[in-house]
Amino acid sequence: MFPWFWLWAPQLRLPFSGDVAQDIEPRLDWFFNGIKPQAGNARIEAQAFEVASYGHQLGLITEALIDLAERQQAESEPLRELRAIRDRIEAIKAGEHERELAALEARVRQLRARRAAVD
């Protein structure tokens, strides 16, 4: 209304009310820095994690161990437990994949319906 009014507009600067800069790059250093020096080298662990996650490494070890035990035809309680754990994890993965697939199919149906409504 009055272009010259800004001359009388008060501007208060309270503590911590200035401009804010925030780094939003995800950093996982805190995870690897939490590794105790006697347990390993954090930089080496971070590089190894870039090659294969802990879950992938454990999955490979599990498969190799079960394969070796089956070749030896050694049936034991720990082997049965390991198989059960592996099967439960695989069921979790399959369930999650099915959930993602159902969500994607629903999204495709929505997009097709929206396109049909526009055409």
pLDDT digits (tens, 9 = 90+) for 50-62: 899 888 999 999 9
| Per-residue model confidence as pLDDT tens digits over 60-77 | 999 999 999 989 887 889
Q: Residue 35, class by beta-carbon neighbours within 10 Å (0-12 exposed, 13-18 middle, 19+ buried)?
A: middle
Predicted pLDDT at 8: 64
Grouping H, G, I as helix, E, B as strand and the rest as coil, residue 20 is coil
Residue 33 has pLDDT above 70, yes or no: no
Q: Give me the long-range contacts of 79-87 (CB less than 8 A, separation at least 24).
A: 86/62
CA 13 to mean position of chain CA atoms: 40
Residue that has been written with the tokens 């090659």 in this structure: 51
Q: Is the pTM of this model over 0.85?
A: no
Predicted pLDDT at 20: 64
